[in-house]
Amino acid sequence: MHIVRKVTDDITWIGSDDSKVRTFEDHYPVDGMTYNSYLLKDTEKTVLFDTCDKSQNKIFLDNLKYALDGRKPDIIVVHHAEPDHSATLEFVMSLYPDAKIASSAQAKKMIEQFTGVDISDRHILLKEGTEISTGKHTLKFISAPMVHWPEVMMTYDSCDKILFSADAFGKFGSRNGKLFDGEVSFDSELENHRRYYTNIVGKYGTQVMSVLKKAGLLDIKLICPLHGYIWRDKISDIIEKYSKWASYEPEIKGAFIAYSSVYGGTQEAAEYLANKLSENGVDALIKDVSHTDKSYLISSSFKYSNIVIATTTYNCEIFETMNEFLSCLVSHAVKNRKYSIIENGSWAPAAGKLIKEKLDGLGGSEYVGNTVTIKSFPSDENLAELDKLASDIKSSL
């Protein structure tokens, strides 16, 4: 059994598509996941680019054997040592003991940590600018630290003009049998790309911008990432999105209203505000943080210019699920957003001050309008304050 597909005359996709898996990294909800691996069969050398997640061991090894068609890999390039791409490496190393392992120094250490095998006698050290000729193809290696781990390298194949981009330009979800970006609608897959980028790599915008700068100097016809589709037709579209995400520039001028509500008072305020914003022509998105996975909340926070935090006070603190979301905003370093606050408390509303203390640490946080303080359910006075807040948010866009 094999599931492979030609990328170019010399390069074959031999990855695997796990349409069954429901979490990535054991917590992000996904509708399947693709792990990409590529095989270059050149005139002089055969090169395997990355391996696969351990769950895909059987199909991956079958694909590799089929695509090799009697040849043996001379070099295995490890762009990224995270186990979703390297767990199968141990088996491949045993099957092909003469194959050299090419990686950064840090990736070598990680491979040895994960496998317990000393690879010193078969290791090729890759550094920024290292070149390897395989016959017709010349592979040039590009350092891409923190996209998404510190050891990451990318490869540029100047013959086929391919950038092997490691985790960058990947996505959550199955590929549903498709391989190239032109076989799917860009818009229908955009949230899978956004949620993947913002949650997995989002914190490292500076490093992503640095790699985008290097990639901008290359003539790229194909981008082959470790997850998702191969980019061929919509390279400029996805690079435009990455430039925005990496620079923390919102895609939409509008308000993402994140609320938590115990008895419904804060929910009413959030929905009243969303209604007012829409009435004023402002795009609003509303989500209950207690019932929405954090990865979707982070994705929406990258997308919108304004974020409204509406929450109850609980044990004199921010309500727990909102507190978790705010911690996620901080840990993902979501910068340059405009915040508005609605706090609720039946006897001592205090969440607003605590929210500001958390958000102040994020670079470029601004506040729009006055904090609206609700006691249990919105009063007529609160509704007037929410009208004013809607107007202030509109003016801030």
Of 112-151, binders to ligand FEO (CB under 6 A) are 148-149
Residue number, 36 or 312, with CB nearest to ligand FEO: 36
Q: Which stretch binds ligand FEO (CB under 6 A): 80-88, 256-264, 315-323, 348-356?
A: 80-88
Closest distance between ligand FEO and the C-beta of residue 289, in Å?
Answer: 26
**Cα-to-chain-centroid distance, residue 395:** 31
DSSP 133-195: E-SS-EEEEEE-TTSSSTT-EEEEETTTTEEE-TTTT--SB--TT--BGGGS-HHHHHHHHHH
Q: Are strands 75-77 and 100-103 parallel, antiparallel or unpaired?
A: parallel
Q: Cβ closer to ligand FEO: 226 or 318?
A: 226
Candidates 81-89, 185-193, 306-314, 385-393: pick the segment binding ligand FEO (CB under 6 A). 81-89
Alpha carbon distances (Å) from 229 to 1, 34, 85: 22, 9, 16
Do the Cβ atoms of 54 and 83 come closer than 8 Å?
Answer: yes
Distance from C-alpha of 137 to C-alpha of 160, rounded to nearest angstrom: 8
Largest separation between any pair of C-alpha atoms in the chain: 78
Rounded to the nearest whole angstrom, what is the least distance from the CB of residue 347 to ligand FEO in the complex? 46
Q: Which stretch binds ligand FEO (CB under 6 A): 78-86, 97-105, 175-183, 260-268?
A: 78-86
Q: Which of 158, 163, 165 is nearest to 136 (CA)?
A: 158
Cα Rg, the chain, nearest whole Å? 24
In this complex, which beta carbon is closest to ligand FEO, that of residue 74 or of residue 82? 82
Cα separation, 115 vs 119, in Å, equals 10
CB closer to ligand FEO, 15 vs 369: 15
* 195-to-30, 75, 108, 146, 210 alpha-carbon distances in Å: 10, 33, 29, 17, 21
- Spatial distance between the Cα atoms of 238 and 63, rounded to a whole number of angstroms: 29
Residue number with CB closer to ligand FEO (36 or 313): 36
Q: In this chain, which stretch among 76-84, 96-104, 355-363, 386-394 interacts with ligand FEO, using CB under 6 A? A: 76-84
Q: What is the smallest separation between the CB atom of 25 and ligand FEO, expressed in angstroms? A: 8
Q: Which residue is nearest to ligand FEO (CB)?
A: 82
Q: Pick the piece of the chain touching ligand FEO (CB under 6 A) from 54-62, 82-90, 212-220, 272-280.
A: 82-90
> What is the smallest separation between the CB atom of 21 and ligand FEO, expressed in angstroms?
13
Site for ligand FEO in 150-169 (CB under 6 A): 167
Side-chain-side CA neighbours of 14 within 13 Å: the count stands at: 29
The CB-of-206 to ligand FEO minimum distance in angstroms stands at: 18
Please report whether residue 227 would count as binding ligand FEO according to CB under 6 A: yes
Contact 140, 130 (CB under 8 A): yes
Among candidates 239, 289, 242, 281, which has minimal Cα distance to 261? 289
Specify whether the CB–CB gap between 212 and 243 falls below 8 A: yes
Please identify which residue in 41, 45, 79, 80 interacts with ligand FEO, judged by CB under 6 A.
80
Closer Cβ to ligand FEO, 85 or 303, answer by number: 85
Q: How far is the CB of 49 from ligand FEO (least distance, A)?
A: 13
- Which of 226, 238, 307, 351 binds ligand FEO (CB under 6 A)? It is 226
Q: Which is nearer to ligand FEO, 179 or 201 (CB)?
A: 201
Exactly one of 17, 50, 74, 82 binds ligand FEO (CB under 6 A); that residue is: 82
Q: Which stretch binds ligand FEO (CB under 6 A): 54-62, 77-85, 255-263, 297-305?
A: 77-85
Q: Cis omega (within 30 of 0) on the bond before 27?
A: no
| Site residues (vs ligand FEO, CB under 6 A) | 80, 82, 84-85, 148-149, 167, 226-227
